């Protein structure tokens, strides 16, 4: 925070620099390296004071006077900054784009950055990089010095610091600034997948045998297509139903079939077994244990579910007659509920 006396001194320096910079091609030295930051603090102080006056006194004569003062400061800041940046641009372009090999830097004194704002130095460094890029794109050295006579600019690793950076006096060691250098550009190469032959691929598979023991999705689909009558609980295709709830094997259904066959053999010849002939004659009902369960779908599924009779679409509210294993599996998964008559 600055006081009123310091703010008045900074304002006087601002107006003085504005008058001196009008007819100069070189930037005028600043009274301090953080000059622009201090000017910003002065403006903030006046803004706070103006807000306080408006709250307490309203639009009084004091508020009008302070408003004009702030406007004059802003006008001086814009004018001074514009002229100074133009002089930095002129100095940088003149020192880096000379018209011939014999041009001397007459009247172009090196900039003493200890007497200028640090942000102005960042601006000038950015200009130098743009000019360097322009020289490379248009082949400036060959145009100016001639073919074969262009000076050789050494290429150094990125991050190299020249000795002039450690010298405080203007112009560095020689008085004419540091010599030109080129920094290496680290090219980023796109990642390429390594080429693997058959032996490397097999070796990579053998390194993780537990992964190879897990059947993939096409394997299950292939088994289901080859044996449509196998009494294995169907696996949903890309649905939200948990596969872990499905029966692991069909041993239970096989045991039930064997028990039914033994009961049929022990029955007398004149005892009739009430079995629907449609289920016996229909191939789709073989292995279902001669029992169907009536269920009602309570959760719609986007993809169809594969059953012994083919694919069926599960929509909320639909009623289906399915085998016991499939019906129990859907009920446990929360997709359906029992709808016995």
Q: What is the pTM of this model?
A: 0.44
In the chain, domain spans: 4-151, 198-338
Q: Which helix (DSSP H) or strand (DSSP E) does residue 115 occupy? A: none
Instruction: Return the pLDDT at 226.
Output: 55
pLDDT by residue (tens digit) across 89-110?
Answer: 998 888 888 765 445 445 577 8
CB atoms within 10 A of CB 64: 11
Instruction: Return the pLDDT at 36.
Output: 92
**Residue from 34, 20, 37, 41 nearest 83 by CA:** 20
Given CATH 3.90.245.10, say whether it is the number of domain 4-151: no
Give mean pLDDT, residues 40-56: 90
Asked whether the predicted pLDDT for residue 86 surpasses 90, the reply is yes
In the chain, the DSSP E strands lie at 155-156, 182-183, 292-297, 305-307, 310-312, 319-323, 336-338
CA–CA distance, 197 with 206 (Å, rounded to integer): 15
Mean of the per-residue pLDDT values of the chain: 74
């Amino acid at each position: 925070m600055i006081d009123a006396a310091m703010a008045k001194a900074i304002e006087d320096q601002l107006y003085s620099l504005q008058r001196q910079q009008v007819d100069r091609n070189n930037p005028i030295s600043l009274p301090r390296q953080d000059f622009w930051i201090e000017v910003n603090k002065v403006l903030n102080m006046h803004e706070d004071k103006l807000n306080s006056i408006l709250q307490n006194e309203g639009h009084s004569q004091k508020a009008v006077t302070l408003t004009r003062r702030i406007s004059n400061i802003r006008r001086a800041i814009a004018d001074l900054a514009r002229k100074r940046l133009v002089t930095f641009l002129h100095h940088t372009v003149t020192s880096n784009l000379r018209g011939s090999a014999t041009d001397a830097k007459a009247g172009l004194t090196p900039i003493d950055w200890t007497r200028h704002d640090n942000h102005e130095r960042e601006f000038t460094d950015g200009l130098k990089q743009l000019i360097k890029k322009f020289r490379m794109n248009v082949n400036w050295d060959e145009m100016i010095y001639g073919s074969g006579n262009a000076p050789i600019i050494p290429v150094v690793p990125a991050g190299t610091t020249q000795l002039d950076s450690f010298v405080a006096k203007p112009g560095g060691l020689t008085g004419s600034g540091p010599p030109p250098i080129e920094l290496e550009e680290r090219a980023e190469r796109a990642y390429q997948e390594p080429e693997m032959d058959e032996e490397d691929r097999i070796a990579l598979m053998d390194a993780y045998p537990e992964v190879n023991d897990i059947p993939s999705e096409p394997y299950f689909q292939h088994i289901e297509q080859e044996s449509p009558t196998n009494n294995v609980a169907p696996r949903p295709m890309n649905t939200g139903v948990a596969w872990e709830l499905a029966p692991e094997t069909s041993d239970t259904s096989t045991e039930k079939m064997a028990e039914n066959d033994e009961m049929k053999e022990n029955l007398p010849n004149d005892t009739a077994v009430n079995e629907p002939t449609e289920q016996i004659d229909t191939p789709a009902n073989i292995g279902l244990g001669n029992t169907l369960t009536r269920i009602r779908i309570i959760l719609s599924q986007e993809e169809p579910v594969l059953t012994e009779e083919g694919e069926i679409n599960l929509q909320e509210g639909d009623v289906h007659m399915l085998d016991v294993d499939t019906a129990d599996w859907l009920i446990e998964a929360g997709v359906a509920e029992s709808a016995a008559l």
